[in-house]
Amino acid sequence: MKTYVIGIDFGTDSARGILYHLTSLRVEKQVLAEFPRWKKGLYCKPENNQYRQHPLDYIEALAEIFNGLLSDLSKEERLQIKAIGTNTTGSTPVAVDAEVQPLALLEEFKDNPNAMFVLWKDHTALKESDEINQILKTYSPDYSLYSGGIYSSEWYWSKITHIIREDEAVLNASYSWLEQSDWVPNYLCGNTAIDLVKRNRCAAGHKAMWNEAHEGLPSPAFLLELEPKFERYQLPFYQETFTSDAVFGTIDPSIAEKYGLSKDLKITVGAIDAHHGAVGAGISPNILVKVMGTSTCDMLIALKNMEEIIVDGICGQVDGSIIPDYIGYEAGQSAYGDVFQWFKQLQMKTMIDILGDTLNKEDMERWDERFFTILTEQASKLNPQADDLVFTDYFNGRRTPDANLALKSAADGFSLSTEPGHIFKALVEATAFGSRSIIERFQAFNVNIAGVIAIGGIAEKSPYAVQVLADILQREINVLKSDQVCALGSVVFASTAIGAFESIATAQQKICPRIARIYKPNLKNKEVYETLYTRYLELAAV
């Protein structure tokens, strides 16, 4: 008899679900569901760094995924789906009422962006993160010790503080706050009791300064010093956290009945998407997994019984945040694929403004499909030179090393001979220089990196970008044979939770995809990239 599990990965633009057959060890079906409100740009103000997502986008995406994955299954086969694992973006918190319902699902808040999920890339809380960092400098214990020593505007407490200051109605109506990675499994279980929410250690540790070393979350006294309005809540929000191999609960009976699923179907504890991606990529000690999407997330693991290494300026190190019984290290860049999309939109805007009425759908699709192909062809013909155009990659601020989301990108080396291919080449190199600075930060604290695995949209779709990365890092880059690695990570946890495998490591050996391609560094570019990287660091220091 066939046995299945489902893995669901909530990204920035869409959710992706896979139906995994545990007997044959293969993906039987996958479904992509876009977020319609997000696609229209609703509730977002890019000029203010405001990015919000409506919970209905997530609910509708789940329905589309279930309908798509289950459409070809018999009644008996649907009952053989034993578990669902999920992951989401983060830090993406939302205000909820006493029944764990996002406020935006209530009639009076349905169009209020402050009542929606505050997406990971939302930087409206710069002021609040500055205040948190000021308090942290003099506070004992040092809650930022395991969060890289700097708290970011992208993270949980910064965003919550900003919203409760800005919107009295949301403050008064909210009972608590949940990460998206906690809300999704809670929704699937139909739980309406806040005390029964199993908060995932991944988001709690990396985004909310939770750590066993200082007995959980920052103290009520710390939060009240930051903002007295926190007295509105029962603090701390939670104390216990769970790793993704734990079972969150069983599926909501109404969802089970609607789709013909077993009422015993297990829902596992969630996590941040990139962390499940690292597991799905087969992460092991000293192997850096780099998720190359709209932003990047770089992850390492180390055994707990090794001498503790505290790395300054990263996005945290947390026991069990990636794999139980290992310390999970996270770093990353706040803009990666977003940098290339910015350049694309910049070039498209004037053309559309001039020719908009005369451009048909086919013209726009051809432009969209060919844009990066043409730029890549142009950039590939340019041999790197010491006086080339250089950018910094801080288009959305700097996440690592040493978070500073107020930073702007800078460039040096423009001339009247600069063409689009030169700019694209420099942008690709800038993202690779940012990656190198992250690796050098780990190395500065004696964290060994023996290999690099690249996953995500850029790794899959842009051989040019990956080759430039290999040349600048002077390391081999392994790209995997799968476009659903994050969802596969959720499958690893879901299958282990139901006892299909004896351990996470065994599940990884069976489920994780093979290497599709190895990019080897081009030694002839080594010297010139050393010069360009030095210029990048000088420009970053300005």
Neighbours of 83 (CB within 10 A): 29
CATH architecture of the region 337-435+526-540: 2-Layer Sandwich (3.30)
Structure tokens belonging to residue 314: 């990263």
Chain position carrying tokens 């973006």? 89
pLDDT band at 353 (very low <50, low <70, confident <90, very high): confident
Per-residue confidence band for 182, with pLDDT thresholds at 50, 70 and 90:
very high
From residue 276, give the alpha-carbon distance in Å to each of 90, 167, 198, 291, 402.
12, 34, 17, 10, 24
The pLDDT of residue 1 is above 70: no
**308 vs 55, which has greater pLDDT?**
55
pLDDT at 542: 72
In the predicted structure, residue 238 carries a pLDDT above the cut 90: yes
pLDDT digits 0-9 by tens, 28-87 = 999 999 999 999 999 999 999 999 999 999 999 999 999 999 999 999 999 999 999 999
CATH of domain 4-268: 3.30.420.40
The phi-psi region of residue 202 (left if phi > 0; otherwise alpha if psi is between -120 and 50; otherwise beta) is alpha
Q: Where in the chain is the domain with CATH 3.30.420.40?
A: 4-268, 337-435+526-540
pLDDT tens per residue, range 95-150: 999 999 999 999 999 999 999 999 999 999 999 999 999 999 999 999 999 999 99
Buried/exposed 378-410: b ≥16 CB within 10 Å, e otherwise: bbeeeebeeebbbbbbbbbbbbbbebbbebebe
If residue 52 lies in a helix (H) or strand (E), which one and from where to where?
strand 52-53
| Tens of pLDDT, residues 285-303 | 999 999 998 899 999 999 8
Q: Alpha-carbon distance 335 to 339, whole Å?
A: 6
What band does 362 get if pLDDT is binned at 50, 70 and 90? confident
Q: Which contacts qualify for 66-71: CB closer than 8 Å, 24 or more apart?
A: 66/17, 66/255, 66/259, 67/259, 68/17, 68/29, 68/31, 68/33, 69/6, 69/17, 69/18, 69/19, 69/29, 69/30, 69/31, 70/19, 70/259, 70/260
Give me the helix-helix angle, 337-355 and 361-380, nearest 10°.
130
Could you read off the pLDDT of 369-424 as tens digits, one per residue?
899 999 999 999 999 999 999 999 999 899 999 989 889 999 999 999 999 999 99
* pLDDT classification of 307: cutoffs 50, 70, 90: low
Q: In this predicted model, what pLDDT tens digit does every residue of 146-181 receive, in sequence order?
A: 999 999 999 999 999 999 999 999 999 999 999 999
pLDDT of 21 reads 97
118: its two tokens: 């505050």
Residue 306: pLDDT band (50, 70, 90) is: low
Q: How many CB atoms lie within 10 A of CB 295?
A: 23
